[in-house]
Structures are given as structure tokens and as C-alpha cells.
Homo-oligomer: A and B are copies of this chain.
Amino acid sequence: PRDVRFSCQDWMRTVWEFCKEDSNRVIFSLKVGLAVLLVSLLILFRAPYNVFGTNIIWSILTVAIMFEYTVGATFNRGFNRALGSLLAGVLAVAVGQLALSTGQVAEPFIIGFSIFVIGAVTSFMKLWPSLTPYEYGFRVILFTYCLIIVSGYRISTPFLTAMDRLYSIGIGGIVAVVVNVLIFPIWAGELLHKELVNSFNSVADSLEECVKKYLEDDGLDHPEFSKTLMDEFPDEPAYRKCRSTLNSSAKLESLAISAKWEPPHGRFQHFFYPWSEYVKVGAVLRYCAYEVMALHGLLHSEIQAPYNLRFAFQTEIQEASSQAAELVRCLGKDISEMKRSLDTCLLKRVHSTTERLQGAINMHSYLLASNYDPPDDSSKPLPKLSHASSANTCDLTNQLSALDNAAPEGNSDRQIQNTPSGTVPPLQTESYHELMRKQSRKLHSWPSIAVDAFEEEGGFAPDIIPRMRALESTAALSLATFTSLLIEFVARLDHLVEAVDELSTVAKFKRELA
């Protein structure tokens, strides 16, 4: 019994947190309850029942089917239902009259054939890509048509029945709409607005998180890539949010479709508010998020630039990424507050820090080689770069090749990997050699399947050393890749700025001069 009480408590807590996370969920549930209760009163009281008879149950059905989470979606469903019923009704009455005039023998054939045709045509039309949002409408046409024409064949007063049913559907629809709009309305437009702003923040957060992790390598081995490719990355909450941004296109689109049905409300006071622009901005933002995903992939790749190289560029990478993130957040804030305050100053700053990063990388591409004099005309000194000077990088190469000679067959990496790495001295005091040794460990372990394969065959010993060297160099270039992706991210920001600017123009955001 204790276990049961315990798991029950657990369950209650989960439910409670689910409610607290978004109180709209509770509000929505209570509203549905209220709507069906109101419509049931029509039957529980005697007066309306006497008027409509059993047809009144159609109003319950309507409420249950029409009541959606947001106001826009409810309107959309209602519209589908109303137009569908109307079309079906007109068609059914017309075909019914036609069938009736042909006489008793032909009548059932005509009716049957028309049902077949309507069934086939509506089903075909709802597969058509541009008509899929109205899928529900086609369903309504189909069954309303069937109901009316078939009832008309059996019931003596088809028109009266149809009218009664239409009235009760109308009552159900009105109850659903009134409850949905008047009691704590949940606007699709508001949700779309918030969703987009959140996407901006999550892209900015995950960029910063990714760069921070990239730079703060603590000398410990990364978890194996094989285990983390599909992982949830529990220590990277922003990444998960960003990943969900990538899959949010369908959500944004359906919210935009719903939002178009909503009357002006709250902050969105003018008619024909450009909700589709939100979807476009979301798409451009997604293209930025692809770059963040690529950066994240690099962060968890097994080929890593030596830590000292990353450390050398720390300032530049940090600055560029944090300013880019700030710009993204600033754009998100502008949308959130529906104003247009972007000072080009910020954009300029992002560009100039990105250029400084490029300058630093330029320097580095020469540092990699042995005999290179830094140019005298470089306007900005790179303090950290000089600290990881060319001499050091030379050492790196020498030490690595020494290490390679010490590990003749590529088998020893396994042993090194198995030693527990519990007592790691703090970063700054760790010897250069130590760092390099760790680095080489990772290099040995890539690509794991290939190494195994070669080991099986056993005849590739002379090949192994050049391969390592190649990898070492590629490892250094992985930093260049990281920065290139970062630069590409910044380049895409221009498009994002443009898209947000477009949105703010079309949606008539307040202009604020900063």
C-alpha cells in the first residue's frame, strides 16, 4: 500500500506540474466541460426538447467535434462545418428532387450513384495538397450529404428534418464559439507570437551553450560519439529546445492557419494581420538553427582541435558568438514587444567582431606552418594567439610524432583509454604535454570501425602513422570549420534581420529610434 500511495503521489505531482507549466490546459478542459454542460441543458430542460425533439442531440455532437484548443481553430472548424453542411444540403436537395422526378424505379439508382460520386470526389479532393487544411470540411460534406439524401428517401418530411437538424447544429456551434471566445479565450495568434519569440531565444541560448562547451573543455574525454548522436544531451537544455525549433515548422503553420481566422484581439488590433510573415521569419530562423546544429555536431565530433588552439581563439569566438546571440535575442525581443528598435550599431558590432575572428583565423592558418613572420600591418594584436605562438605549435607536431613512434601499432590507445582519468589537475597548471597526450587519445579512436577493420587484417602497420598525422592536421582544421560555421551563422543573421524588418513593416510595429 505504501508503494501505491507513493506512485500515486508521484503521478499527482506530474499532473500538477503539467498543469502549472501551462494553465491554459486546465482552462481549456473546464471550458469544454462547460460547453457540453450548457448544450446538455437544452435537453435536460423540457422547453427546447419539445421544440426540436431528438434532433437536439446533434448540438451535442457539434460541440464535441467543433470545440478546439484555440479560438482560430474553433472558427476554422466551425466554418468548415457550416460551409460543408450548406453545400451538402443544397446538393442533396437538388439531387433528391431530380431523383424524385425520375420515378420510383430509377430513384434509388440515382441516389446510390450520387452517393458513390460524392464519396469519391470529396475523398480525392482532400488529398489535394492545397486543400488538406479543409480535410474536415470534406468529411462533413460527405456524411451530411449521405444523411440528408438517405433520410429524404425514407422520411416523409426530409426538408423539415434537415431544418431541425441544421438548427440544432447551429445551436451547438454558437455555444461552442461563445464559450470559446468569451471565457478566457486562447488565441492562436498569441500562441504563434510567443512560439516565435521562444524560438529566437532558444537559438540564441543554444548557440551560446554550444560555444561555451566548446571553449571550456576540461581535459576530460568526451563521451563516445556513438552514444551521443541520438542522445538527449541532458546537460544541454538549450540544445534540446533548439532541436525542437527545427521540428516546429508544422506547428507554426497550423497556428498561422488558425490565427488567420481570429478577429483582431489583444495586441493584434488591425485586420488582416500578417500571420504568414511569422511563418516566413520562422523558416529563416530555422536556417540559422541548422548552423547551430552543425556546430553542435562538431562539438560532439570525435575529431577535436587541440585545446590550446581553441583557447588561443577564445576571446574572438566568445565575442562573435555572444554578440550574435545578443542580436538574435534583440530581434526576438523586438518581435515580442512589437517594436522596431534595431540599432544598426549592434549589427555592425556583430560584423566587425566576426571580421576580427576571421582575421584571427587568417593568422592561424600561417601559424600552422613552421617559418612564418607575423605581418607588421595587423591593426589588432592578438594577445592569446601570441601566447600560443608558432614555436608551441611546432612543439605540438614534434611531440605528436614522438608519441606516434611510441605507440607503434595503434593498439596502445585502448590501454590509455582504459586508465581512469579521475584526478585531473586544474586546467591552467596542466602541462602542455599532458594536454597533447589526451588529444592524441581521441585521435587514435577515430574512426573506430575502420581501426577495428584494419586490425583484423593486420597488414596496415606502415599506413597507420601517416593517417594519424593527417588526422592531427585535420583536428586543427576542425577549429577552422567551427569558426566557418559560426561565420556562416552570422551571414545568415543578415537574412534574419531582413525578414524581421519585413515583418515589422507589414505588421506595422512601432518604430523606435534607439
Taking beta carbons and an 8 Å cutoff, which residues of A are in contact with B?
Answer: 18, 25-26, 28-30, 32-37, 40-41, 43-44, 49, 54, 57, 60-61, 64-65, 67, 69, 108, 111-112, 115-124, 127-128, 139, 142-143, 146-147, 150-151, 153-155, 225-226, 229-230, 246-247, 249-250, 280, 283-284, 287, 290-291, 293-294, 297-298, 301-303, 344, 347-348, 351-352, 354-355, 358-359, 361-362, 365-366, 368-372, 377-379, 446-450, 453-454, 462-463, 465-467, 469-474, 476-478, 480-481, 484-485, 487-488, 490-492, 494-495, 497-498
Quote the shortest CB–CB distance from A495 to chain B (angstroms). 5
Contact of A124 among B29, B127, B301, B469 (CB under 8 A): B29
Given the interface pairs A64-B143, A298-B488, the reply to whether A115 lies near B36 with Cβ below 8 Å is yes
Residue numbers in B under 8 Å from A119 (CB-CB) = 29, 32-37
The interface residues of chain A, by DSSP majority, are classed as helix
Residue of chain B at shortest CB distance from A348: B453
Q: A154-B49, A348-B450 in contact; A29/B121 too (CB < 8 A)? A: yes
Could you pull out 22 A-B pairs where Cβ atoms are within 8 angstroms?
A33-B115, A33-B117, A36-B119, A43-B154, A54-B151, A64-B139, A247-B250, A294-B294, A298-B484, A301-B488, A347-B453, A351-B453, A355-B450, A358-B470, A358-B471, A365-B365, A366-B369, A369-B371, A370-B371, A377-B465, A379-B463, A474-B487
Q: Is the CB of B302 within 8 A of A470?
A: no
**For A142, what are the chain B residues with a Cβ–Cβ distance below 8 Å?**
32, 36, 64
> Are B115 and A153 in touch, CB under 8 angstroms?
no
Point out the residues of chain B lying under 8 angstroms from A377, CB to CB.
465-466
Tell me the minimal C-beta distance from A46 to chain B in angstroms.
9
Chain B contacts of A40 at CB under 8 A?
A: 111-112, 115, 146, 150
* Complex Cα spacing A480 to B153, Å: 76
Q: How far is B294's CA from A485's CA once the two chains are assembled, in angstroms?
A: 9
Task: Specify the chain B residue showing the minimal Cβ separation from A296.
Answer: B290
Given contacts A352-B450, A450-B355, contact A123 B297 (CB under 8 A): no
Let me know if A481 and B470 touch, CB within 8 A.
Answer: no
Whether A33 pairs with B490 at a CB distance below 8 angstroms is no
**Bound state CA distance, A467 and B351, in angstroms?**
11
Contact of A365 among B250, B368, B450 (CB under 8 A): B368
For A351, what are the chain B residues with a Cβ–Cβ distance below 8 Å? 447, 449-450, 453
Once A290-B290, A488-B297 are accepted as A-B contacts, the answer to whether A28 and B450 lie under 8 Å apart by CB is no
Is A229 in contact with B112, judged by CB distance below 8 angstroms?
Answer: no
**A280-B453 contact in complex given A147-B61, A477-B361, C-beta closer than 8 Å:** no
Q: Are A116 and B448 in contact (CB under 8 A)?
A: no
Residues of B within 8 A of A249 (CB): 247
Partner of A36, one of B116, B301, B462, B495: B116
Residues of chain B with a CB closer than 8 A to A301's CB: 488, 491
Given the interface pairs A44-B108, A361-B473, A466-B359, the reply to whether A225 lies near B64 with Cβ below 8 Å is no
The 7 closest A-B pairs by CB, nearest first: A369-B369, A33-B120, A351-B450, A64-B143, A33-B119, A362-B473, A29-B124
Shortest Cβ gap from A187 to chain B (Å): 17
With a CB–CB cut-off of 8 A, which chain B residues contact A491?
225, 301-303, 446-447
A37: chain B residues at CB < 8 Å are 112, 115-116, 119
Which of B49, B128, B250, B477 contacts A250 (CB under 8 A)? Answer: B250
Q: Report the Cα distance A485→B28, complex, angstroms.
A: 46
Residues of chain B within 8 A (CB-CB) of A153 are: 43-44
